[in-house]
């Protein structure tokens, strides 16, 4: 993100200042425990709300599934659980939905990290 913001098309990570709040993030990764991802997620949200990061306190919310979620807005799913047998008709709005664009960006980011960033530091995560 720092390279993008600096318009560094060569992605020279060594020229960037690095991850802000790195020590805080590392500490929370090590200390936040919970039996479920949902439980751990709530703890991260609490840290954000109490202002534990350099960007200050923020009120954030997330609706994973069901009414008003990005998935609902993208494909019309109202259920908070999947059966695996759902069929959703194609809609043009899906192609421009936040849900699809977010997942497309995740795939692109994962590819770049695995194939461009990590090998630069001698790391292979095939």
Q: What is the pTM of this model?
A: 0.65
Distance CA 64, CA 70 (A): 8
Percent of the chain with pLDDT over 70: 100
For the chain, the straight-line distance linking the first and the last C-alpha, in angstroms and rounded, comes to 23
Candidate from 7-16, 40-49, 92-101 with smallest mean pLDDT? 7-16
Cβ of 76: how many Cβ atoms within 10 Å? 13
Compute the chain's Rg from CA coordinates: 18
For CA atoms 16, 119, 99, 25, give the dihedral sign: negative
51-95 tens-digit pLDDT: 999 999 999 988 988 899 999 999 998 888 888 898 999 999 999
């Amino acid at each position: 993100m720092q390279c993008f913001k600096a318009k560094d098309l060569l992605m020279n990570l060594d020229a960037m200042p690095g991850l802000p709040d790195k020590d805080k993030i590392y500490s929370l990764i090590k200390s936040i425990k919970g039996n479920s991802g949902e439980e751990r997620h709530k703890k991260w949200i609490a840290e954000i709300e109490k202002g534990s990061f350099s960007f200050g306190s923020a009120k954030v919310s997330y609706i994973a599934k069901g009414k008003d979620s990005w998935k609902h807005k993208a494909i019309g799913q109202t259920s908070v659980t999947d059966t695996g047998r759902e069929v959703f008709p194609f809609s043009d709005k899906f192609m421009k939905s936040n849900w699809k664009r977010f997942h497309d960006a995740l795939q692109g980011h994962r590819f770049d990290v695995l194939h461009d960033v990590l090998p630069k530091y001698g790391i292979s995560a095939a």
